[in-house]
Amino acid sequence: MNKIVYVDMDNVLVNFQSGLDKISNELRMKYINDPDEIPGVFSLMDPIEDAISSYQFLAKHFDTYILSTSPWENPTALNDKLDWVKKYLGKVAYKRLILSHHKHLNKGDYLIDDRPNHNGVDRFEGKLIHFTSDLYPNWKTVIDYFSKYVKY
């Protein structure tokens, strides 16, 4: 059976800082303690290096879904995240976007996430691929790991 792989968005597929960089100083200061609540900020973010081709690789070889959390107090985040997935991933992620504050409720084999202690990641039943850790600092190292399961 095909392995189920979940992929986080912020700082895994999406470069959060690249969105902040496009926000005015005034707005950035207003939300200095809660930058993820800036209206529209999620629509401005660029992909992380190699994220798009890596997601396409995973989607081709595994049962792959996006598993992200949408900030509760940001009224545009839900829509911005959906639009981002449509814009950058399109067909390979069609109807495969899950937004949840309880990631452990999703059954699966792997979760690629940069925050091991947030939104249920610590209770996920499968294996955590800790993105940005020493073991998996970038997408190249993640794809190297998953490539061992792929028969070419």
Cite the active site residues.
8, 10
**Residue matched to tokens 């998953």:** 146
CB of 115 to Mg ion, least distance (A): 5
Choose between 11 and 76: whose C-beta lies nearer to Mg ion: 11
Q: Indicate the residue among 12 and 59 with the shorter CB distance to Mg ion.
A: 12
Phi, psi (rounded to 5 degrees) for 136: -130, 70
Q: Which residue is nearest to Mg ion (CB)?
A: 10
Shortest spacing between CB 81 and Mg ion, in angstroms: 12
Q: How far is the CB of 139 from Mg ion (least distance, A)?
A: 14
Q: Which of 17, 12, 42 is nearest to 112 (CA)?
A: 12
Taking every pair of Cα atoms in the chain, the longest distance, rounded to a whole number of angstroms, is: 52
CA distance 46 to 48: 7
Least separation in angstroms between CB 13 and Mg ion = 9
- The residues, any chain, with a CB within 8 Å of residue 36's CB and separated by 6 or more, are 10, 16, 71, 74, 77
| Pick 23 or 66: Cβ nearer Mg ion | 66
Nearer to Mg ion, 57 or 131 (CB): 131
Give the Å distances, CA to CA, from 105 to 12, 77, 99, 113, 117.
20, 21, 12, 15, 15
Binding footprint of Mg ion on the chain (CB under 5 A): 8, 10-11, 114
